[in-house]
């Protein structure tokens, strides 16, 4: 069974970071966001992963191809206009010839399910219901306000998607960014730019197709804005320290390099809180003070008397002497 990760978007809400880093390549606890999506696909046993790209494609390509030792990667480069979720699948549809079903996932999702078999369970539910698509959903307090909801009947079939419930008898669920799709959806995709929900799935529901919600338990984390991303960083550090999430531990066990202090040049005077994370190949100069849940990426240089609290320093950055920041994503030269 094949899968596709949607990684072509602009990451508008996370600018200016995404002007230099495509969002799926941005590290979260020094692991690219795309790998949080790829890990459950790998554990499920996906045979081939298609990744689409448009914005900063070389960085997406480099991030995706680093997964090659774990599963075969195919790239779908949208060189003209950005095609959206439906258009991206339409452009890559030839990769799915001969496939009865496949998985489609957003490239920036952080989903830590309670059960290790959640994706297999969703696939079984998809097959048993003979649905056109099965959307994997979770509880979330922001349904209908901050986020649109997947509105389902009492049997778990989707009636509509959006911020407004179609009626009092429907339950709102939060879409996790993962869905299982039957190949009969492919001919329904319009050529060019489109949205997988508004232009394809909702129209199919109106025409009598069955679309199912597979509801799971776990944690889904928002990374859309700088504030969301930093809050998620803090939450994941707490989960990791407390060892309360097997799914997070699994991801980190695959993609975290073993800490090698011989690659770190940290001056003895540097102050570091216990919840900070410092990658290999870092230089931290005299008098630096790292507080809260600050995360330092690989190949970074932190100058003298730098003071950072609850910040993330992206790989390859240089922070100048005396720089101070609180709750910021830092990149490039500061």
The contacts of residue 298 (CB under 8 Å, 6+ apart) are 30, 279, 280, 281, 282, 315, 316
Q: For the residues 137-148, what does the mean pLDDT come to?
A: 86
pLDDT above 70: percentage of residues in the chain: 100
Average pLDDT score over residue span 318-331: 98
Flag whether pLDDT at 160 surpasses 80.
yes
pLDDT, averaged across the chain: 95
Summarize the confidence of residues 226-248 as an average pLDDT.
94
Of 306, 277, 272, the residue nearest 291 (C-alpha): 272
Q: Determine the pLDDT at residue 261.
A: 81
Q: What is the pLDDT of residues 29-72, one digit of tens each?
A: 999 999 999 999 999 999 999 999 999 999 999 999 999 999 99
How deeply is 186 buried, as exposed, middle or buried, from its count of CB atoms within 10 A (0-12, 13-18, 19+)?
middle
Domain boundaries, the chain: 2-229, 260-330
Indicate the pLDDT class of residue 147, thresholds 50, 70 and 90: confident
**pLDDT recorded at residue 34:** 97
- Which CATH superfamily hosts domain 260-330? Hexapeptide repeat proteins (2.160.10.10)
- Please state which CATH number belongs to domain 2-229: 3.90.550.10
pLDDT of residue 144: 77
The reported pLDDT for the residue numbered 157 is 97
Q: Is the pLDDT reported for residue 258 higher than 90?
A: no
Count Cα atoms within 13 angstroms, Cβ side, for 174.
20
State residue 304's pLDDT score.
97
């Amino acid at each position: 069974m094949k899968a596709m990760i949607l990684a072509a978007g602009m990451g508008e809400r996370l600018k200016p970071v995404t002007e230099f880093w495509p969002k799926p390549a941005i590290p979260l606890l020094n692991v690219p966001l795309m790998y949080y999506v790829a890990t459950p696909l790998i554990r499920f046993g996906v045979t081939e992963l298609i990744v689409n790209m448009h914005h900063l494609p070389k960085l997406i390509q480099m991030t995706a191809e680093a997964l090659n030792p774990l599963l075969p990667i195919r790239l779908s480069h949208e060189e003209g206009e950005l095609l959206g979720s439906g258009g991206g699948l339409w452009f890559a549809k030839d990769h799915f010839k001969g496939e009865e079903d496949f998985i489609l996932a957003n490239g920036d999702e952080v989903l830590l399910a309670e059960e290790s078999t959640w994706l297999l369970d969703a696939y079984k539910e998809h097959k048993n219901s003979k649905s056109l698509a099965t959307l994997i959903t979770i509880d979330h307090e922001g349904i209908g306000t901050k986020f649109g909801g997947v509105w389902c009947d009492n049997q778990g079939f989707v009636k509509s998607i959006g911020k407004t419930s179609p009626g009092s008898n429907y339950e709102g669920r939060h879409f996790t960014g993962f869905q299982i799709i039957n190949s009969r959806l492919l001919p329904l995709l319009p050529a060019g730019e489109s949205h997988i929900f508004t232009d394809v799935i909702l129209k199919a529901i109106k025409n009598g197709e069955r679309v199912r919600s597979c509801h799971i338990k776990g944690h889904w984390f928002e990374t859309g804005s700088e504030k969301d991303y930093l809050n998620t960083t803090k939450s994941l550090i707490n989960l990791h320290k407390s060892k309360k999430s097997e799914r997070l531990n699994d991801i980190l066990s695959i993609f975290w390099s073993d800490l090698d202090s011989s690659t770190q040049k940290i001056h003895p005077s540097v102050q570091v809180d216990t919840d900070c994370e410092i990658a290999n190949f870092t230089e931290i100069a005299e008098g630096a003070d790292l507080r809260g849940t600050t995360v330092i990426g690989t190949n970074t240089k932190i100058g003298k008397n730098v003071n950072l609290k609850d910040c993330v320093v992206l790989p390859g950055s240089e922070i100048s002497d005396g720089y101070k920041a609180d709750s910021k994503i830092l990149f490039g030269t500061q």
